[in-house]
Amino acid sequence: TKEGFDTFMEKEIREQPRAVAETLKERLDAKGALTLDELRIGAETFRGIESVIIVACGTAAYAGQVARYAIEHWCRIPCEVELAHEFRYRDPVVSVRTLVVAISQSGETMDTIMAIRHAREQGARVLAIVNTPGSTISREADAVLLTHAGPEIAVASTKAFTAQIAACYLLGLYLAQVRGNKYADEIADYLDRLSEMPAKIQTVLDRYAGSPDLGVDLERIKSVIFLGRHVGYPVAMEGALKLKEIAYLHAEGFAAGELKHGPIALIEEGQPVVIIVPTPRRPELHRKVVSNIAEVRARGAVTLVVAEDGDESVNEFAEVVWRVPKTPTLMRPLVDVLPLQLFALRMAGHLGFDVDQPRNLAKSVTVE
Ligand code: M6R
């Protein structure tokens, strides 16, 4: 049931603190070590892994793109992310020392199933991050790390996304631990940071419990551009996907650094641009994105900005600022995506569309 919400999507957006908390629960042992008992791949195999390839589609692939930043940083293993339907056809280089990570909410996405079959035929180990126990992907994988988001009914994925990021981070920390890149105290510290995220997610959801202020004339919006750098880049693409799926609006997510290589030509008076601003504690990232806001604003864009509490540098360039609590850079996607989900929900509601069952889409894509 919708438990008092108008739509499943809104209910699922509001369930994200629990989805993330449940996914992280009971993964630390008394000594502060990360234990992932359900992984049926031995620690020895994880130690021998030379590369990680994440395969997924849609929102799950964006979760994978976020994970890549963490896995490479923590584990120092090359990590690629590929759309499952592209992976199979490019003759990928995989071996017994490749860990293929399939991410899927449903566990029934045919493109992802075919990708893991292909990977296994080449001898790769396959680990599945799925939300549906007993699903095809969980049965065919060598090991499974479950997300505990609970059933996701709305076609547009929300709580599965944040739970997938949490699970990927557990995997990244586990790999770092077994491979000796990180010591128990560092792992415990990261897990502490992660375990603070459900409360931060709740804070953002409480702030924007009503209709988030959009600061734009909804009637006039024809397209929306999303910009992000580093982990904000896949979040920008996810924000755009949500808007396409449920509000039927043209939307694109770009890497903010790519702006002057082309997309800035799109900016004209009144063009809404959503920008995810990294923490000021990473000045090399922050400074550049703030100057991107100024650039689009100077060309007439209506700027909707996601920024941390206390980051006043964005105020003079922003039509609207959606505030998120101070959060370590790698964890920011868990809060940054929330205003974007709510923005899409609000837009779709305003336009009168059925947000749970958008046209032309199925909850799980079981054909290739
Ligand atoms: O069930 P899966 O996670 O494998 O599904 C993958 C995509 O089909 C899915 O994320 C899709 O993009 C959603 N409609 C996004 O909101």
> Is residue 112 lining ligand 1, measured as CB closer than 6 Å?
yes
Residue-level pLDDT at 14:
97
- Over residues 65-84, the mean pLDDT reads 96
| Closest atom of ligand 1 relative to the 155 alpha carbon | 14
DSSP, residue by residue, 122-187: TT-EEEEEESSTT-HHHHHSSEEEE-------SSS-SHHHHHHHHHHHHHHHHHHHHTTSS-HHHH
> Is residue 115 lining ligand 1, measured as CB closer than 6 Å?
no
Average pLDDT of the residues of the chain: 93
Residue-level pLDDT at 165:
98
Q: How big is the CA angle at 245 (ends 240 and 249), to the nearest 5 degrees?
A: 65
- Over residues 86-107, the mean pLDDT reads 94
Residue-level pLDDT at 42:
85
Residue-level pLDDT at 196:
95
> Is residue 157 lining ligand 1, measured as CB closer than 6 Å?
yes
pLDDT confidence band for 212 (50 / 70 / 90): low
- Over residues 220-232, the mean pLDDT reads 94
What percent of the chain is modeled with pLDDT above 90? 81
Reported as a single tens digit per residue, the pLDDT across 99-132 is: 999 999 999 999 999 999 999 999 999 999 999 9
What phi and psi, each to the nearest 5 degrees, are found at residue 172? Answer: -60, -40
> Is residue 105 lining ligand 1, measured as CB closer than 6 Å?
yes
Reported as a single tens digit per residue, the pLDDT across 278-335 is: 999 999 999 999 999 999 999 999 999 999 999 999 999 999 999 999 999 999 999 9
Q: Which residue has the higher pLDDT, 218 or 180?
A: 180
pLDDT confidence band for 144 (50 / 70 / 90): very high
pLDDT confidence band for 26 (50 / 70 / 90): confident
> Is residue 57 lining ligand 1, measured as CB closer than 6 Å?
yes
Query: What's the 57 CA to ligand 1 centre distance in angstroms?
Result: 6
Residue-level pLDDT at 186:
85
Known catalytic residue: 363?
yes
Query: What's the 364 CA to ligand 1 centre distance in angstroms?
Result: 7
Residue-level pLDDT at 345:
94
- Provide the 10 A C-beta neighbour count for residue 108: 18
| Closest atom of ligand 1 relative to the 137 alpha carbon | 4
Burial zone of 153 (CB within 10 Å; 0-12 exposed, 13-18 middle, 19+ buried): middle
Query: What's the 28 CA to ligand 1 centre distance in angstroms?
Result: 29
Q: Is the pLDDT of residue 242 over 70?
A: yes
Query: What's the 158 CA to ligand 1 centre distance in angstroms?
Result: 10
Report long-range pairs for 73-78 (Cβ below 8 Å, ≥24 apart): 73/330, 74/172, 74/173, 74/175, 74/176, 74/181, 74/182, 74/190, 75/172, 75/175, 75/176, 75/179, 75/181, 76/181, 77/49, 77/50, 77/51, 77/52, 77/175, 77/179, 78/50, 78/51, 78/52
The β-bridge partners of 52 are 79, 99
DSSP, residue by residue, 296-330: HHHTT-EEEEEEETT-GGGGGG-SEEEEE----GG
CB 77 within 8 A of CB 51: yes
| Closest atom of ligand 1 relative to the 130 alpha carbon | 3
Q: Is the pLDDT of residue 368 over 90?
A: no
Rounded alpha-carbon distances, angstroms, from residue 80 to 70, 71, 97, 177, 256: 12, 10, 14, 20, 20
Residue-level pLDDT at 43:
86
**Which residue out of 8, 103, 105 has the highest number of ligand 1 atoms within 8 Å of its CB and is therefore the one to mutate?**
105
Residue-level pLDDT at 30:
67
| Closest atom of ligand 1 relative to the 158 alpha carbon | 16
| Closest atom of ligand 1 relative to the 364 alpha carbon | 1
Query: What's the 92 CA to ligand 1 centre distance in angstroms?
Result: 23
pLDDT confidence band for 353 (50 / 70 / 90): very high
Query: What's the 113 CA to ligand 1 centre distance in angstroms?
Result: 13
Residue-level pLDDT at 332:
98
CB 364 within 8 A of CB 348: no
> Is residue 245 lining ligand 1, measured as CB closer than 6 Å?
yes
Reported as a single tens digit per residue, the pLDDT across 246-275 is: 999 999 999 999 999 999 999 999 999 999
Report long-range pairs for 353-359 (Cβ below 8 Å, ≥24 apart): 353/246, 353/247, 353/248, 355/7, 355/9, 355/10, 355/154, 355/156, 355/246, 356/7, 356/8, 356/9, 356/153, 356/154, 356/155, 357/155, 358/155, 358/156, 358/245, 358/246, 358/248, 359/248
Residue-level pLDDT at 96:
93
Q: Is the pLDDT of residue 1 over 80?
A: yes
- Over residues 121-147, the mean pLDDT reads 95
Query: What's the 314 CA to ligand 1 centre distance in angstroms?
Result: 33
Q: Which residue has the higher pLDDT, 31 or 203?
A: 203
pLDDT confidence band for 27 (50 / 70 / 90): confident
Rounded alpha-carbon distances, angstroms, from residue 332 to 19, 94, 231, 255, 316: 16, 31, 8, 16, 23
- Over residues 56-81, the mean pLDDT reads 97
Q: Is the pLDDT of residue 62 over 90?
A: yes
Reported as a single tens digit per residue, the pLDDT across 182-199 is: 878 888 889 999 999 999
Residue nearest to atom 14 of ligand 1 (CA): 156
The structure's pTM equals: 0.96
- From the candidates 2, 244, 326, 363, give the one annotated as an active-site residue: 363
Residue nearest to atom 8 of ligand 1 (CA): 58
What percent of the chain is modeled with pLDDT above 70? 97
